Amino acid sequence: MNEAILLHEEGSDIFTMSLRYVQSDLNIDRQFNFNRRINEPISNFTRRIKTNIGLQVMKKMYCKQKKHSDFETPLSVLLNDTDNNHIKFVRDSSILDDNDTCKTILENSSNVKLIIFNTEYVLRQNIPFITKIELPSSILVDFPVYPSKFEGKNVNKLKSTFTWYKNEGKEWIQVGQDFLYVPCMSDIGSKLKISCVPRNDTECGPIIEITSNNAVQNGPVSCPFETRHAFTKYKLSGKSFRVTSYNILANIYSETQLSQETLYPYCPLYALSMDYRKLLILKELMGYKSDIICLQEVDNSVYKNDLQLALRVLHYDSIYNLKNDLREGLAIFYNQDRFDKLYSDYSVISQGVSLDDFNIILSKIENNNAKQTFGNRNTIIQILILRSKENPEILVIGNTHLYFLPIADHVRLLQAYYGLLYLRTYAKRVKNENPECNVSILYCGDFNSTPDKGIYQLMTQNYITKDHSDWRADPTEMVQDVVLTHDLNLSSACGIPEYTNFTATFSGCLDYIFYQTDYLAVEQVIPIPSKETLKTYTGLPSIVFPSDHLSLCVDLKWLK
């Protein structure tokens, strides 16, 4: 049975109709989409259908008649007939009046049929329907592939059915059934096709298929993060949970001329492309089997089309926040099987005027240049509050990416301190609301600060003196007579790695997972690759490392 799909949101004056028109003797098999207004006459709509489909038919007929002068089809007569009744909407055997508006079609559409020449369509309204589906341009052996774009109406992706095929000659052979598929060596040289039946809780929609533009290629023989996966073979449970923090290098930075020619000239251009790097990023993250994943430098499109879609299949939910007007931001993913989300929010640090303790500090800064630099930054901090499903424990998780300028240690110190007070404020509030639970803080991110600077001292020693060298990082923005202090017991879960950022011109520890030692302890730190391994391709990123940063991964456990 042929179907025409109607999509209309209540209150909207526009609706869409999609149908697949097949005419085998003309080799036509094409999807047609129409956007119309509900108050226009039906006659306008039917004329548009005849024009769009008729144009395709006429082209095919012309090609056929050039090759076969005696070619005839019944459609020839219908196309030349001025009678518009060859395209019509019918309800209970009665043709709908051309002067009626399209709103008439939408009312009780299940009783309406569409006749296009001699082909009959049943109308189905607001059923699951895929509006866009695409496969990535880069498909590698042993790396997950999935629809890089998947958009639809009334669709629950988790309930939809996906089937993967590869071509062998003219035949399509089924190779998988899931949203994700991992190509194997026998797939090399073959294109992939995915078939999807969109579903929701009550209905299913029309099947849609898409074929990859490129064939499966051999990927890197081995990526160093696969060695790290040997330490994360199993998911954690009970009082233990795994945390990953990772700056994944935003595409808006990696594909610039500066990156290609100055920052990472040693990295092949294809390996700087996000189409390539996202495959490595996903495989790396999936292999860690983490319960909480904090990401920095996440492109909006990569979050929406890749990370969110792929990780949701593995039962991760997430939050995402952009840095003001930039196209990249922060994301936190968490395992829904182990945690319930209580609350999430974010704050633009320079605009966070609601913290009294921080405002007191800010008021003591007399250097207007320093205040202006701090105030002009779009740095944000995310907060996600999770309750364990297995233990009387609540986590207050912060994720941030601090200002990068080398001479801005004083700005980063203030930003980190603001984030600390921000998390502490929420932790106290949550504790008051949930006195039966322990409440612990995790503070993750790319702090752009090495361990010899003030941030590490602030976190782990609770105190920054007024004469700390960070206050004098920029001679034009010196901060005087400011002391920072707090009462949280924090430690670096991964200790002090020699490096978490490693390029040809710089290597050092910039990333941290700070945890509250009152209620948490480190169970296992996933070791990072050796310096010799990193130098194999000069620096990061490379064909086996998708970012200029290394991910941090640690197993923590609740003490009580």
pLDDT greater than 70 at residue 166: yes
User: Topology of domain 224-558, per CATH?
Assistant: Deoxyribonuclease I; Chain A (3.60.10)
| pLDDT in the model for residue 423 | 98
Distance CA 522, CA 504 (A): 32
Angstrom distance (rounded) from CA 497 to CA 516: 19
Per-residue pLDDT averaged across 159-185, rounded? 96
Residue 516's SS3 state is strand
Query: Which residue type, as a one-letter code, is found at position 248?
Result: I
Q: Mean pLDDT across the stretch 150-162?
A: 92
Instruction: Give me the pLDDT at residue 257, please.
Output: 94
Give the least confident one: 145-149, 407-411, 436-440: 145-149
Q: What is the pLDDT of residue 61?
A: 79
Q: Which whole number is the average pLDDT over 442-465?
A: 98
pLDDT in tens, 500-529: 999 999 999 999 999 999 999 999 999 999
pLDDT, one tens digit per residue, over 376-407 is 999 999 999 999 999 999 999 999 999 999 99
Mean pLDDT of 296-322: 95
CA 138, chain centre distance (Å): 17
Tell whether the model's pLDDT for residue 76 goes beyond 60. Answer: no
pLDDT score, position 85? 67
pLDDT band for position 453 (cuts 50, 70, 90): very high
* Section 191-206 average pLDDT: 96
Q: Please, are residues 348 and 379 in contact by the beta-carbon 8 Å criterion?
A: yes
Question: Which pLDDT tens digit goes with each residue over 208-224?
Answer: 999 999 999 999 878 99
Query: Which residue ranges make up each domain of the chain?
Result: 2-125, 129-216, 224-558
Phi, psi at 478, each rounded to 5°: -65, 135
Residue 408, token pair as written in the block: 């801005």
Task: Identify the bridge partners of residue 485 per DSSP, sorted by sequence position.
Answer: 463
More confident residue, 64 or 183: 183
Domain 129-216: assigned CATH number: 2.60.40.2700
Is the pLDDT confidence value at 77 over 70?
Answer: no
- What is the per-residue pLDDT for 79? 53
Task: State residue 81's pLDDT score.
Answer: 52
List of residues 6+ apart from 505 with CB closer than 8 A: 263, 539
What is the set of active-site residues? 446
Query: Rounded to two decimals, what is the model's pTM?
Result: 0.88
- What integer pLDDT is reported at residue 118 of this predicted model? 82
Kindly tell me the sign of the dihedral angle through the C-alpha atoms of 448, 452, 455, 459: positive
In this prediction, residue 73 carries a pLDDT of 58
Q: What is the pLDDT of residues 232-282, one digit of tens each?
A: 999 999 999 999 999 999 999 998 999 999 999 999 999 999 999 999 999
Average pLDDT, the chain: 94
pLDDT in tens, 465-491: 999 999 999 999 999 999 999 999 999
Question: pLDDT band for position 196 (50/70/90)?
Answer: very high
Mean pLDDT, range 123-145, rounded to an integer:
95
